[in-house]
């Protein structure tokens, strides 16, 4: 007699548990978890930090680094064309 309502109750509880699991978890941080920025690396500049030669090398390195990143060493568009060489009738 009580078997059917009991089954309904169990199914209802299971559904509730599943829905709760699927619900998005909160994205807000708890008071203890406040993000902090990565501390910037500070250093005392040497007398060479403003030296014209050093700055010239530094600029040259940055420019060359960009060139090395963008250089095309594939040349895909210049691969030999695909041609039907064996023409037969």
CB 48 within 8 A of CB 54: yes
Contacts of 29 (CB under 8 A, 6+ apart): 35
Q: Is 79 in the site for other proteins (CB under 8 A)?
A: yes
The nearer residue to other proteins, 7 or 66, going by C-beta atoms, is 66
Task: Please report whether residue 73 would count as binding other proteins according to CB under 8 A.
Answer: yes
Phi-psi region for residue 29, left (φ > 0), alpha (ψ -120 to 50) or beta?
beta
Is residue 39 part of the contact set for other proteins (CB under 8 A)? no
Among 10, 14, 15, 61, contact with other proteins (rule: CB under 8 A): 61
Nearest CB to other proteins, comparing residues 35 and 81: 81
Which uninterrupted H or E stretch holds 18?
A: helix 3-22
Sign of CA dihedral 67, 73, 77, 80: positive
40 is a contact residue toward other proteins (CB under 8 A): no
Residues that bind other proteins (CB under 8 A): 43-46, 48-49, 51, 53-54, 56-58, 60-61, 64-65, 67-69, 71-75, 77-81, 83-89
């Amino acid at each position: 007699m009580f078997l059917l309502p009991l089954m309904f109750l169990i199914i209802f509880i299971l559904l509730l548990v599943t829905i709760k699991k699927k619900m998005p978890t909160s994205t807000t941080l708890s008071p203890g978890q406040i993000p902090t920025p990565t501390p910037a690396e500070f250093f005392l500049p040497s007398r060479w930090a403003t030296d014209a030669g050093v700055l010239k090398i530094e600029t040259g390195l940055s420019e060359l680094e960009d060139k090395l990143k963008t250089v095309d060493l594939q040349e895909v568009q210049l691969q030999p064309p695909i041609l039907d060489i064996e023409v037969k009738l």
